[in-house]
Amino acid sequence: MSAPRDRFLAFAFAAADLLVETGMDGVILFAAGAFQQRLGAEPDRFVGQRVSRLFSPADQASFAMAMASVSLRGRIAPLVLRLADAETSPVAVAALMMPGPPARLCFTIGPVPAASGPAPTRAGGFEEPLLFVREAELALRAGGDGQIGLVEFEGWQEVQAMLSAQDILDLRAGIRAVLAEAGPGVLAGEIEAGRYGILGNASLDVPALAARLGQVVKAGPAARLTRVQQAAIGLDPGALTPIQAARTLRYAVSRFATGGMAAAAADGAGGGLAGIIAHSEQRARAMREAIADRRFRLQFQPIVGLNDSVIHHFEALLRPARLPSHPSDTTQDFVLFAEMVGLSEELDIAVLEEALAALRAAPSATVAVNVSGFTMQSLPFRDRVLALLAANPDIVGPAHTPHRLLIELTETAEIDDMAGAAAAIAQFRANGVPVCLDDFGAGGAAFRYLREFGVDYVKIDGLYVRAATRGARERGFVAAMVELAGQVGAQVVAEMIETEEEAALMRELGVQFGQGWLFGRPGTLPGARR
């Protein structure tokens, strides 16, 4: 891809006043935007200078810390810094690393998000558990004495129902102000309504921080409705392998996001990562038995052509049986727990086998099966899939012909062995099994995956689809993703389409396929012989 094209794709995902491209040394190579209005000189005057000079001296340490880790993360997560202007104006700063040669960084510098929803703190922020846990995983792998704090405002739903819109805005602003002063290098943000994650080092005093947040609540109209609970999880892996520790961390944050402090405590979060593992042994045995006995079911949701409304294929959606020890688990929690205890490969193979059985019962159907990024790196998994393909010629047909099976690569976790995953994907495609990159746009690794893996389809995360009907900027996000997919020869699926308006807009933006309740809810696979 050309440098101008990469710039466009990187910059398309931010409402920015200033656009800057630098080398990995931080020296500005390209600048555009409102430099005259914001910094008193035309953009070209800044070319050749260090990007750090755009920011206030008071924020140089925070910016240096972000730059120091960019080669590991591949990006700088949104953080709030102050410009080097007369007013030291606060701005939201983010960057994406674009591989070379030579590698470079594309910065977007723009307005701080309004207080109507989750926003970055001065040290960084997260809008969903996946983003938070990825940053925590990077800290875990880097070693040291890091920890994460989990803080929950109990009764948050009641607060939202009973307070005025302005009261809620004021409460959120007060919470963010406390988190912004949590300490140098601390990353914090709302990962679910009323539930916050804080990433810092061993000196981070989570109970004291929770107490300050409690004071914010007590000072306002939510005092009677909400109390604050907290827990701290050390990032010392102890006897756990790095992979075990990362999987455990991901599961713990997911459980907190979906079930709050009660779920985290029930899983042994108070004992750190090793405590969570210790609490998981009985449930892991139950899950292994459930997978072996196929105590789950698949539901199938149609994906249709947006131009002709004809069903192209179905996605197989896992619906696990509830385990007695965790009867309220979501499907995501179930999958993340399987990854944590090393059962993701067994689960993915079991789902694949059930999908193949469904295909045998429905001779005219085509089905996509989700595969974890962890599993895709496994050589034994690759061999088992190839053996299943060879054993089902009635479904897959001869080599190099389209099969009735597709594989969707999910992004529940970043892939460590990129070469291994790329080799597996290449072999599946060589055997006629198309591959789809799921939830494109939801995580920072998606762009890297699109560059490294040959894929046939890209599925745009439903949050972008819903947002696209609200304004030109949001439509630009989708248009950029469609263009990027086209550059690598992939067709695009838009998920979570629920209205005719959304379908028409996706069609207008060049999306080929749609998935969502407008076209059908998950159910049995049509055409199955009974």
- Structure confidence at residue 255 (pLDDT): 82
Model confidence at 75: pLDDT above 80: no
CATH topology assigned to domain 294-515: TIM Barrel (3.20.20)
- More reliable by pLDDT, 447 or 310: 310
In the predicted structure, residue 419 carries a pLDDT above the cut 60: yes
- More confident call, 140 vs 49: 49
More confident residue, 354 or 92: 354
Of 59, 65, 208, 190, the C-alpha closest to 138 is 65
Instruction: Say what the pLDDT of residue 519 is.
Output: 95
Look at residue 469 and tell me whether its pLDDT is greater than 50.
Answer: yes
Q: What is the largest CA-CA distance in the chain?
A: 74
Same fold, 129-280 and 294-515: no
Give the residue extent of every domain in the chain: 3-110, 129-280, 294-515
Show the DSSP H helices in 116-241 as ranges: 129-142, 156-162, 165-180, 206-218
**Banded model confidence at residue 59, pLDDT cuts 50, 70, 90:** confident
Q: Does domain 129-280 have CATH number 3.30.70.270?
A: yes
Choose the most confident range, by mean pLDDT, from 69-73, 249-253, 491-495. Answer: 491-495
Return the pLDDT at 323: 60
pTM: 0.65
* Contact between 496 and 530 (Cβ < 8 Å): no
**% of residues, the chain, pLDDT over 90:** 25
- pLDDT value of residue 173: 81
**Which among 512, 467, 113 has a CA at the least distance from the CA of 307?**
512
Average pLDDT value for residue range 17-38:
87
Could you give the strand order of the β-sheet that contains 104-110, starting from the edge strand earlier in sequence?
28-33, 18-23, 104-110, 90-98, 75-82
409 pLDDT band (50/70/90 cuts)? very high
- Residue environment code for 492-518, b if the CB has 16+ CB neighbours within 10 A, otherwise e: bbbbbbeeeebbebbeebbbbbbbbeb
Q: Is the predicted pLDDT of residue 44 greater than 80, yes or no?
A: yes
For residue 121, what is the DSSP state?
B
Contact 182, 111 (CB under 8 A): no
Its CATH class, for the domain covering 3-110, is alpha beta
Residue 215 CB-half CA count within 13 A? 8
pLDDT at 349: 95
Q: What is the pLDDT of residue 122?
A: 33
pLDDT score of 381 more than 70? yes
**Contacts with 404 (C-beta within 8 Å, 6 or more apart), sequence order:** 359, 365, 366, 367, 395, 396
pLDDT given at position 456? 93
Name the burial class of residue 229, with classes exposed (0-12), middle (13-18) and buried (19+) by CB atoms within 10 angstroms of its CB.
middle
